[in-house]
Amino acid sequence: MEILNLCKILFSGLGTTLIIFCITLFISVPLGVVVAILRNSKNKIISRIIALYILIIRGTPMILQIIFVYFAPYYIFRIYIDRFLAIIVAFVINYTAYFSEIFRSGINSIPKGQSEAACTLGLNMFQIYIYIILPQVIKKVLPASSNEVISLVKTTSLAQTIGIVEMFSLAQKQANYLFSIIPLILAGGYYLILVGIISIAFNKAEKRLRYYN
C-alpha cells in the first residue's frame, strides 16, 4: 500500500513535469528552426548575435540560466516574475539554442544545388525551406533531436530550483520524509516510461520518413 501511495503522490507531480516538457518542446522546436536560419544569415551582424547567444547558452549551466531568468528582473527592474513563467522562459531559451544547432547542421548538409535549382524555377526562399529543405532536414536531424527531447524530459527536474513542485521534487521530499530511496527509484521508473514512449515515437517517425532515403 505504501508503494501505491507513493506512486499516487509522484503521479500528482507528473502533470507539472509534462506541462513544462510539452510547452518547452512546442515552442523551442519552431524557434530553433528560425534561429538556425538566422545563424546562416548572410547578414554578419545577425549571424554573430545569434552565434553569441548560442555560445552563452551552451557555455553556461542550465541551473544558472534558470536562476538568472527568475531573479534578474527583480534585481535589475524591481519586477517580480511568476515562477512557472520563469521556468518556461529559461527552458525555451536553453533548448531553442540546442535545437537550432541541430537544425543548422541539417540545413547545411543539404546540397546548395537544390536551392539554386528551386530559385531558377521561381520559388522564393520561404517556399524553398518549406517544400524542399525542411522535409529533408527533419529526416536527417531526428536521431539528434530525439536525444535532446529525452534530455528535456529529465531536465524538467531542475524546475525545483526556483520552488516549482514537480515529480522529482516530490520524490525527494518523500525520500527525506521516509528515510528511503524507494521514492527516487519510483521517480526513475516514471522517467524511464516517458523516455520509452518518446523513443518509440521517434523510431516510428524515422520509419515513416524512410522514403527520403
Q: What's the CATH number where 39 sits? A: 1.10.3720.10
Between the alpha carbon of residue 36 and those of residues 13, 54, 87, 138, 198, the distances in Å are 34, 10, 23, 13, 24
Q: Is the pLDDT of residue 121 over 80?
A: no
Q: Where are the alpha helices (H) located in the chain, listed in sequence order? A: 2-39, 44-59, 62-77, 83-108, 112-120, 125-128, 134-155, 167-178, 182-208
The proportion of the chain whose per-residue pLDDT surpasses 70, expressed as a percent, equals 98
Q: How many structural domains compose the chain?
A: 1
pLDDT of 119: 78
pLDDT of 118: 73
pLDDT of 48: 95
- φ, ψ of residue 164 to 5 degrees: the values are -80, 130
CB 153 within 8 A of CB 188: no
| C-alpha closest to that of 35 among 100, 98, 127 | 100
pLDDT tens, position by position, 30-52: 999 999 999 988 899 999 999 99
**Mean pLDDT, rounded, of the chain:** 90
- Give the C-alpha separation, 150 to 142, whole Å: 12
What is the greatest pairwise CA distance in the chain? 70
Q: How confident is the model at residue 69 (pLDDT cuts 50, 70, 90)?
A: very high
CA 138 to chain centre: 16
What amino acid is encoded at 89 in this protein? V
pLDDT tens, position by position, 124-179: 777 878 778 888 888 888 888 999 999 999 999 999 999 999 999 999 999 998 88
pLDDT of 68: 95
Boundaries of domain holding 10: 2-212
Q: How confident is the model at residue 211 (pLDDT cuts 50, 70, 90)?
A: low
Q: How confident is the model at residue 53 (pLDDT cuts 50, 70, 90)?
A: very high
pLDDT of 123: 76
**Prediction pTM value:** 0.91
